[in-house]
Structure 1
Amino acid sequence: MSAPIQKSAAKTKAATQVVTANRLDDGVVVYLDARDGWTERLGEAAIIETPEALAAAVAAGKAAEAARVVVESYPIDVARGPEGLAPLRLREVIRAAGPTVRADLLRPTGA
């Protein structure tokens, strides 16, 4: 019988996350900030690193949905880099950059 598979330390460590959504009135991508408000800048998002903080942030997102401020809030994985926070999934990189059809509509991201 083989030994049980053990998870690596990297797989068990909690990821750094932020909560994102779309603002209801204009559809713009927003991020939950430390004051339970919403910001268009990823660099101003509240950083989530514990299960307790994640539960609180998800609850704040759901409360904002109920108040019809945002739609479809959810946590995303991010990494800290020399330019500030960066999403880890391509979908979120695209959302953070703004529309993909016109370069003149791109908005700055980061700190």
Structure 2
Amino acid sequence: MKTVTANRLTDGRVIYRAATGAWTTELADAARLDADEADAVLELASGESHIAVGAYLIELAQDLPGGQKWRREGIRLTGPTTGSTHVQATA
């Protein structure tokens, strides 16, 4: 199962292509696409550069990002990480 994701042109927010053909910020509302329809929907979405930029397909597993890039998509879904794992030495 796949869906189309991109970034909204106006504010950079992560968006997903809904089954209605509209864009949504909610992964739960994203279209669930099989292999036969995924490329066609991606092509339509890529033509909407006035709304969304950088459209691409992601794998879904149990309604969450899956596949090899699941961690990246999880971060995109929940927002930027904060803080640092680096400890700065004090003088």
TM-score (norm 2): 0.81
1:76 aligned residue: 58
RMSD: 1.3
d(CA) in 1 for partners of 2:17, 2:11: 16
**Hey, what's the Cα distance between the residues in 1 that align with 2:55 and 2:10?**
15
How many residue pairs align between the two structures?
A: 80
- Stretches of 4+ moved more than 4 A in 1? none
d(CA) in 2 for partners of 1:77, 1:21: 14
CA contact under 8 A between 2:15 and 2:25: conserved in structure 1? yes
What is the TM-score normalised by the length of structure 1?
A: 0.68
Cα separation, 2, equivalents of 1:55 and 1:91: 21
Matches within 5 A, 1:65-104: 65=49, 68-80=50-62, 85-88=63-66, 89-101=70-82
Listed as ranges, the gaps of 5+ residues in structure 1 are 1-15, 103-111
* Unmatched 5+ stretches in structure 2: 84-91
Instruction: Give the residue type in structure 1 aligned to 2:17.
Output: L
The alpha carbon displacement at 1:36 in A equals 1.2
